[in-house]
Amino acid sequence: MNELIAYLDSRQGGMLGLLERMVNIDSGTLDKAGVDRVGALLAERLAGLGFGVEVIRQREYGDHLLGRKAGSGKRRVLFVGHMDTVFAAGTAAQRPFRIEAGRAYGPGVLDMKGGIVCLLFALEALMATKHPTYDAAAMSVVFNSDEEYLSPTSRPLIEAEARASQTVCVFEPARPGGEYVISRKGTGKYQLTVTGRAAHAGAQPERGRSAIGEMAHKIVALHGLTDLSTGTTVNVGVVRGGERSNVVAEKAYAEIDIRVPNLEEYARLDHRIKAIASGSTVPDTTAALSGGLGFPPMIQTPGAKVLFEALRAAGQVVGVEVEGIPTGAGSDANYASQFAPTLDGMGPQGSETHSDREFIEVPTLLERSKVTALFLGGWPHTMASLDG
């Protein structure tokens, strides 16, 4: 195992170099050309690691990458990372990759180009040191292009690969305190439209039926469904309605975000949201509701607990305290975990994702790659213990 550590110590400069190249390529979800440039770079890296690479063409989004490497054993591990960011074209030129006071900055440096670098160099260490796991383990890699839009085109690919795997590792960033992610809430979105009747707000207000008034009642009721004791949250985050202040509003629109700890809670919450939408306080108003659960909840299964303990043991070798926490945010781990034991938050530590302050703690780039390499080195033994 010390060979893995020594090899990665020698490659820290290469890790930062690859990270800089990736961060300085704009790859917002709808910037297909930029995402495909990142994909071409990663396809070359995967090929150099002995993976066969399939480019899965997309029209609206960037192309997905599927890498596969055969193994002498029957077990397969799947690695997942997304190439897209939330930043518009031109952002990289405005604030390119830089390192200041031990932190690396730039668009997507944490979410999640840093995690992709951690994975690639862990695999490189296993291959370069001729570790037996690299030959024994079948491996798949999915680098997708649409995660920031909830993976509408890549979800079937991720789920299919997860079904064929016994372990899934997702390289979303660690939590701000360095914790790995052991569970994620289910995430959903609803769209609610209320229709009333327009009227002159001064001359004939009694002829109107305010869609905004009705929506206000519904918003209060919807927010009342939040139950922090169970971890269920409901947030009306977008509201639009009316055209002029002197007209009783005929239309109002709202977008509703929900987070639920499990599917049972989602079923209860969905029933109550539909009841609020179907009722009315302002007479003669109607409502239309659409949407529902997007990311299913990621639950820490018994198999995932065994994997996490193996990850913890790998961390101890390099002096990294591996801790795991639940989070309310969703990721592709929510999809994969429905089919195989899943670890998430395997990328580097940092904070301020989705902002111009996004950063990673540079030392954790190397640390997390070491932990991943050591975890994978012991993965066949971990899987044997699961069989037992």
Question: 62: domain CATH number?
Answer: 3.40.630.10
Cα–Cα dist 144/62, whole Å? 8
Domain closes at, from 246, 264, 295: 295
Q: Are residues 170 and 231 in the same domain?
A: no
Q: Are residues 260 and 324 in the same domain?
A: no
Q: Are residues 56 and 165 in the same domain?
A: yes
Cα–Cα dist 168/64, whole Å? 18
Q: Are residues 154 and 104 in the same domain?
A: yes
- How many domains, in total, are found in the chain? 2
Q: How far is CA 134 from the centre of its chain?
A: 27
pTM of the model: 0.90
Q: Are residues 274 and 327 in the same domain?
A: no
For residue 211, give the nearest of 238, 224, 192 by alpha carbon. 192
Q: Which domain holds residue 349?
A: 2-184+297-387
Q: Are residues 169 and 302 in the same domain?
A: yes
First to last CA, the chain: 24
Cα–Cα dist 258/225, whole Å? 10
65 within 8 A of 39, measured Cβ to Cβ = yes
pLDDT of 386 reads 76
Ordered per-residue pLDDT tens for the chain, 388 residues: 589 999 999 999 999 999 999 999 999 999 999 999 999 999 999 999 999 999 999 999 999 999 999 999 989 999 999 999 999 999 999 999 999 999 999 999 999 999 999 999 999 999 999 999 999 999 999 999 999 998 999 999 999 999 999 999 999 999 999 999 999 999 999 999 999 999 999 999 999 999 999 999 999 999 999 999 999 999 999 999 999 999 999 999 999 999 999 999 999 999 999 999 999 999 999 999 999 999 999 999 999 999 999 999 999 999 999 999 999 889 999 999 999 999 999 999 999 999 999 999 999 999 999 999 999 999 998 998 877 5
Give the pair of three-digit tokens for residue 370: 């070491």
Look at the block and give the residue holding tokens 């997304």. 82
